Amino acid sequence: MQLGAHCLRNGLFVAPMAGVTDRPFRTLCRRFGAALAASEMVSSQPELRASRKSRLRREHAGEPGPVAVQIAGADPALMADAARRNVDEGAQIIDINMGCPAKKVCNVAAGSALLENEPLVARVLEAVVAATGPMGVPVTLKIRTGPNPGQRNALSIARLAEQAGVRLLAIHGRTRACAFRGQAEYDTIAEVKSRLRIPVIANGDIATPEDAKRVLAHTRADGVMIGRAAHGRPWIFAEFDHFLATGGYLPPMGIAAMRAIVLEHLEGLYALYGELPGLRIARKHIGWYVKALPGGEAFRREANRIESAAAQRAAVAEYYARLAEEGLATSPTRSAPANDSCERLAA
C-alpha cells in the first residue's frame, strides 16, 4: 500500500491508544509486522505542548519509519500549526483524530465531537493538508461511523476528507454515542470503501486473524486497525500477516522468546520515562503479557507491589524462567477483549 512516498508493507495498523502506543510498544509492533503505528494522541493546544506528557508522546528517536503522529483539536489554525511542528520534529505522516468519544476530548469539540460539524471538519482537514503538503507529508484521518445511530455520516465525512487531500481513512465501526457498547458494524465501512478512491482501513472488534479476514471480506477495506487485541501480544501482527497471506497459523510464541520481548519492553519503558515512572507504566503491560499464562494473575498482583525497576526486571525474568522449568514451552492462545476502551484508545 502506497501512502505518499511511503510503501507500507501490508494493511495492518496499530490503533493509537493513550497510555499504550508509546515508542517502546510501537517499535515492537512494527518489528512484528505492523505497517504503521501512530503515536498516542497529541493535543494541538499550545499550552500543552511543553508538558512532559506531550513531549514524551512526540519522542521518536530510533523508531523505524515511517513515523506517524496523531494530532487532535478543533481549531484549524492550531491544528495546522501542530502538524507543522510535528513534521519539524520528525513526523513523516500526520494522522488526525476525529474518532475518540471520550468526554474529556469531546468536551472541547475535538475527537468524534467534530463529526457533528461537517463545515468545521472540512476546514480542519484543509488547513492540515495545506500545512503539510508543501513538506511532502501525507495526512490520514481516523473517524467513527457518525455522531449516533440515527446520523451515520461517515460517507459525507469521507468525501470531505478525500476532497481535502487526505490520503488514507480509518473508520471505527461504531458511532460516538455508542462509545464501545454493543458490536461494531461494518456495513457503513463497506459503503464508504465502495465510494472512495483513497485507502480505507476497518477498525473495531478485530481480535483474531479470522476476524480480520471476515471484516476484510465484508468491507473490501484495504486493511485493518488493531487495538486491544495487541495488549500483551505485540507479535499478533505477525500472526495476522501470516494468516491473511497463507490461511495458516504461526506456531505459538515460545516462552523464551516471550521473556526476551517482555524484558526488552520494560527496558524501553525505563529508558523513555525514567525508572520509577517506567516501572509504574510497565505494570499494566506485565498484566497483559501474563494474563493467559499459568499463575499470571497471582504474578500480576505481586508485580504491582514492586517499587524498583531492578526488582521488577528480576521478577519478570524469574517468572518466565519458572514457566520454562515447569515445561511450558509456548504461550497458550487467548482471545483478546473485542471492545477498545476509549480511555486508552486515542483515535
Identity (one letter) of the amino acid at 307?
Answer: E
DSSP letters, 198-262, are S-EEEESS--SHHHHHHHHHHH--SEEEE-GGGTT-TTHHHHHHHHHHHS--PPPPBHHHHHHHH
Q: How many Cα atoms occupy the beta-carbon half-sphere of 325 within 13 Å? A: 6
Q: Write down the H helix ranges in the chain.
A: 23-31, 52-57, 76-88, 103-106, 118-132, 154-164, 187-195, 209-219, 236-246, 255-273, 275-290, 296-303, 309-325
Q: Distance (Å, rounded) from C-alpha 292 to C-alpha 166?
A: 40
C-alpha cell at 66: 515511517
Do residues 193 and 217 make contact, with C-beta atoms less than 8 angstroms apart? no
Tell me which residues are annotated as active site: 100
- Give the other-Cβ count within 10 Å of 113's Cβ: 21
187, three cell numbers: 456495513
The label of the residue with cell 465484508 reads 218
